[in-house]
Amino acid sequence: MTETGKDDMFLDALFSEAREDAQDAASPDLLARVLQDAEAEQDSWTSAPAPVDTAAPRGVFATFVEALGGWPALGGLAMAGVAGVWIGVAPPEALSAEMAAVLGDDTALVMGLGSETGFFGELADAGEGDG
């Protein structure tokens, strides 16, 4: 037999022995550790429910806030409301003059009602004319 042939046979026999030897190579301790990892992994999937399941039911107020655009939008809305009330209670001077020009002076209105002039006076006059 040639040297190469002998080498091949020798190596093939060695490989064959090594393959048989590897069959029982894993120790019970290693197998137990691997199995423990496997079961821990499975447990982690079942013990970590989806976020949707754990979320508290959404309240009406939360839905309302979200519909308005969240808390920042709600803050802006509240500020606008407060400003409106404040302007109504204590209007700035400049605003009073402007409003008087547009809507008429409330003092004149009161006086007008008393002297039967102005809008209500005209109504009264018209009523008298009809009668």
Partner 1 sequence: MPLDATPELSDDVLLIRFANGDRAAARTLTLRLTPRVLAQATRMLGNRAEAEDVAQEAMLRLWKIAPDWRQGEAQVSTWLYRVAANLCIDRLRRKPPAPIEDVPEPADDAPNAEGQMQTRERLSALDGALARLPERQRQAVILRHLENLGNPEIAEIMDISVEAVESLTARGKRQLAQILAPRREELGFEDD
Distance CA 63, CA 74 (A): 12
Of the chain, the end-to-end C-alpha distance in Å amounts to 146
Q: Which residue type is seen at 91?
A: P
The binder of partner 1 chosen from 22, 80, 90, 101 (CB under 8 A): 22
Closer residue to partner 1 (CB): 6 or 99: 6
Supply the minimum distance, in Å, between the C-beta of residue 24 and partner 1.
7
d(CA 96, CA 107): 12
Compute the least distance from the CB of residue 26 to partner 1, in Å. 4
- Nearer to partner 1 among residue 5 and residue 72 (C-beta): 5
Cα–Cα distance, 59 to 11 (Å, whole number): 75
Query: Quick one: how far is CA 53 from the chain centroid?
Result: 17
Shortest Å, Cβ 13 to partner 1? 7
Tokens of 24: 């029982």
Hunting for tokens 């013990």 — which residue is that? 47
Q: Is 100 in the site for partner 1 (CB under 8 A)?
A: no
Q: Which is nearer to partner 1, 34 or 82 (CB)?
A: 34
Please give the size of the binding site for partner 1, defined by CB under 8 A.
Answer: 33
What is the closest distance, in whole angstroms, from the C-beta atom of residue 54 to partner 1 in the complex?
19
Site string for partner 1, 31-60 (x = CB under 8 A): x-xxx-xxx-xx--xx--------------
